[in-house]
Amino acid sequence: MIDTHTHLEFPDFIDEVDDVIQRAQDAGVEKMICVGGEPPRNLIDVEMANKYPFIYAAIGIHPNYANSNSPEHEEWIVNTLPERKVVAVGEIGLDFFYNYSLFDTQREVFRKYLSFAKEVDKPVIIHSRDSFTDTYDILKEFAPLNGVVHCFSYSLAEAEAFLSLGLHISFCGQITFKKCEELRDVAKEIPLDKLLLETDCPFLSPVPKRGKRNEPANVKYIAEKHAELRDISFEELDRATTENAVRLFGLE
């Protein structure tokens, strides 16, 4: 399995990264992508990717932190993106659920970072919450696009719109939550060659770990749920999603 969306750079993990990694490997996680979203975390993720052969980094500005962008950081991003272990721009996008950053600032930063990704031909990791129309319209300006809409929370029609732009879809632990029946109905309709696995740890622990801090080892519960929804074996689901991640992010 490949956990394509972790935040091992969060303070939650700082004192026990090696234990967390060991548990992930014991659970069958072969590779992980540490996804940044603001300047200090982007730096830590690149350091982690350079330290561990099975960790890769994504660097970007999360919409909730759009205010933390600066010309200096953009210069660092542009200089760092070509590095081999930096495999994506992310997470980037729009979040109209929270208004931590002005919506216009979010749109401006989103467009800039999409253009950075295009320049180096690397995929994007998209965060989109309560902002489907604006997210889709901006992404369309840059289509066709390689990337993933992560922690997917919309309907099937909206998933199909993103798929038509060339994007992949991934789901967080919510697909294991009792109340998220509609999201499960969307998940099982995503073409298997467009599906990725992610935990988004330390957030959104899947059942049976719900309520506890999430970590990459728990991606197995999400994989099991996907396999169950599709009525395929765990091995088939694992093989397909691993191939998808390797192909999309150019992992070794």
Give least dist CB 30 to Ni ion, A: 20
Q: How far is CA 206 from CA 63, 155, 198, 217, in A?
A: 24, 20, 11, 11
Contacts of 139 (CB under 8 A, 6+ apart): 114, 126, 145, 162, 165, 167
Which of residues 106 and 227 has its CB atom nearest to Ni ion in the complex?
A: 106
What string marks each residue from 144 to 183 as x (binds Ni ion by CB under 5 A) or -? ----------------------------------------
| Share of the chain residues as helix, strand and coil, in percent rounded to the nearest 5 | 50, 15, 35
In whole angstroms, the minimum distance from the beta carbon of 250 to Ni ion comes to 20
Q: Which is nearer to Ni ion, 227 or 245 (CB)?
A: 245
Q: Which residue is nearest to Ni ion (CB)?
A: 200
249 Cβ contact list (under 8 Å, min separation 6): 4, 33, 56, 87, 88, 123
Minimum gap (Å) between residue 233 Cβ and Ni ion? 29
Binding positions for Ni ion, 194-223, rule CB under 5 A: 200
User: Least distance in Å: CB of 232 to Ni ion?
Assistant: 27
Nearer residue to Ni ion within complex by CB, 114 or 227:
114
Nearer to Ni ion, 150 or 227 (CB): 150
- Residue among 158 and 200 whose Cβ is closer to Ni ion: 200
Residues in contact with Ni ion, counted by CB under 5 A, come to a total of 1
Interface residues with Ni ion (CB under 5 A) are: 200
